[in-house]
Amino acid sequence: MIGYLFRRLMQGIAVLFGVSFLTFLLPALEKGNVARAVLGNHASPLELKEFLHSHGLDQPFFVQYYHYMIGLFHGNLGTSLNPQTIDEPVSQVIAPYVPRTLWLVLISILFSTVISVVIGLFQGIRRNTIFDHSMTFLVFLLYSFPAFLFSTMTIILFSLTLHWFPPAVDSPTANGWFSPLVQMWNHPNQFVLPLATLTVLGVGGLTRFMRGSILDTMVQDYVRTAKAKGCSPNRVLFRHAFRNAVLPVITILGLSLPALFGGALITEQVFNYPGMGQLTVQATEARDVPVVMGLTLLVTVATVVGNLLADIGIAVADPRIRLTGKR
């Protein structure tokens, strides 16, 4: 198992090196565009030159990369170019937003896993019944729904027409204080629609996968053996089939992280939730390149770490991997 996890860890680190090179490369190649995004199109050549010099963008490529990587290891992602937060360290601008998005994503993963495992399990048992067919249709519908359309339509239906839930999460107070858990505890109804949107995003794909996984395991030899030796149907299902069918869900969860973060970006923007997604949109509008690059890097780190955790989870739960290091 150690060897398997070590290989995975190395792959993850290699990916992060690649991404950090990309987040360095894009602005470095297009430093003229970056400068003009800040100074405006009518900046004089002298101003451009001074800007490049003061941000260290006129140095040789590898010197810049060296400084960038040294900074990265010290948690230094450069300074913001947004007029409102000009020259503040990017890490300081981003830091308060990170836990907010992570909470949102984690809670929705929990919900969507429970929901889709239950639905997928029942679909697998009651195959080709009316329940199975109607669920397949419903899940396909949810699977097709783009995040922005689903959130818009839930707002229109549940918030603006039926007035059940508020259409937005309260903005942070004037001093910028906003704790997702406190907010969730005090105003749970503000979180119903955003969490529902993110959960539905996950449920579509997961349920389809879980149904297939159950159907696959039910025809395996060990299930037939269990039946033949006289296990009760429930014991066959839960002791023998379910445990094997549910394992790959962990991997799928890890793989669905990029889509989930993309969905969180849209959801945060729609429900005015002050997380990394909303910050990314604001920074893109303000053309605050360092902040956007820092956020992209951070979200990718979260994705890679999530995938690693999924690998560890699988390795711990599945003796075939624990003992042989192969899958």
Partner 1 sequence: MTVIDQRPESSPQASGGDVRGTERMWVQMFRVFLSNKIAVLSALYCIGVVLFCYVGPLFYHSNQTDASSSILYTNLPPQKGFPLGTDYLGFDILGRLMFAGQSSLELGFLAALISLVVGVGYGVLSGYRGGWLDALLMRIVDVMLSIPGLFLLLAVISIWGRSKTLLILVLGLTGWFGDARLLRGEAIALRDREFAQAVRAMGGGSGRIIWRHILPNTVSTMMTVATFALANSILALTSLGFLQLGIPLPETDWGTMIQFGSQNFQIGCWWQIYPVCILFLLLVISFNYIGDAMRDMFEVRLRER
Smallest distance from partner 1 to CB 164, Å = 16
- Name the one residue in this structure whose structure tokens are 């999924």: 310
For residues 232 and 226, what is the distance between their CA atoms, to the nearest angstrom?
9
Tell which positions 147-166 bind partner 1, by CB under 8 A: 147-149, 152-153, 155-156, 160
Task: Decide whether 246 or 310 has the Cβ nearer to partner 1.
Answer: 310
Smallest distance from partner 1 to CB 154, Å = 11
CA distances (Å), origin 34, targets 40, 54, 298 = 10, 13, 21
Task: Decide whether 65 or 143 has the Cβ nearer to partner 1.
Answer: 143
Asked whether position 139 contacts partner 1 by CB under 8 A, the answer is no
CA distances (Å), origin 135, targets 116, 131, 144, 146 = 11, 6, 14, 19
Given CA atoms 8, 9, 10, 14 in this order, what sign does their dihedral have? positive
Asked whether position 179 contacts partner 1 by CB under 8 A, the answer is no
Residue in 123, 178, 307, 311 binding partner 1, rule: CB under 8 A: 307
For residues 279 and 41, what is the distance between their CA atoms, to the nearest angstrom?
25
Smallest distance from partner 1 to CB 23, Å = 7
Instruction: With CB under 8 A as the rule, give the number of residues binding partner 1.
Output: 52
Percent of residues in the chain assigned helix, strand, coil, to nearest 5:
80, 0, 20
Could you tell me which residues come within 8 angstroms of residue 210 by beta carbon, excluding any fewer than 6 positions away? Answer: 116, 117, 119, 120, 121, 123, 124, 245, 246, 249
CA distances (Å), origin 317, targets 157, 236, 314, 321 = 42, 19, 5, 9
Asked whether position 145 contacts partner 1 by CB under 8 A, the answer is yes
Tell which positions 232-291 bind partner 1, by CB under 8 A: 257-259, 261-262, 265-266, 269, 280-281, 283-285, 287-289
For residues 214 and 246, what is the distance between their CA atoms, to the nearest angstrom?
8
Task: Decide whether 72 or 259 has the Cβ nearer to partner 1.
Answer: 259
Residue in 19, 169, 193, 214 binding partner 1, rule: CB under 8 A: 19
Here the tokens at position 252 are: 């799928």
For residues 240 and 250, what is the distance between their CA atoms, to the nearest angstrom?
18
Asked whether position 212 contacts partner 1 by CB under 8 A, the answer is no
- Name the one residue in this structure whose structure tokens are 């040294």: 70
Residue in 3, 10, 33, 225 binding partner 1, rule: CB under 8 A: 33
Residue in 22, 95, 110, 182 binding partner 1, rule: CB under 8 A: 22
Asked whether position 98 contacts partner 1 by CB under 8 A, the answer is no
Asked whether position 296 contacts partner 1 by CB under 8 A, the answer is yes
Asked whether position 38 contacts partner 1 by CB under 8 A, the answer is no
Asked whether position 222 contacts partner 1 by CB under 8 A, the answer is no
For residues 320 and 315, what is the distance between their CA atoms, to the nearest angstrom?
8
Contacts with partner 1 by CB under 8 A lie at 11, 14-15, 18-19, 22-23, 26-27, 30, 33-34, 37, 140-141, 143-149, 152-153, 155-156, 160, 257-259, 261-262, 265-266, 269, 280-281, 283-285, 287-289, 292-293, 295-296, 299-300, 303-304, 307
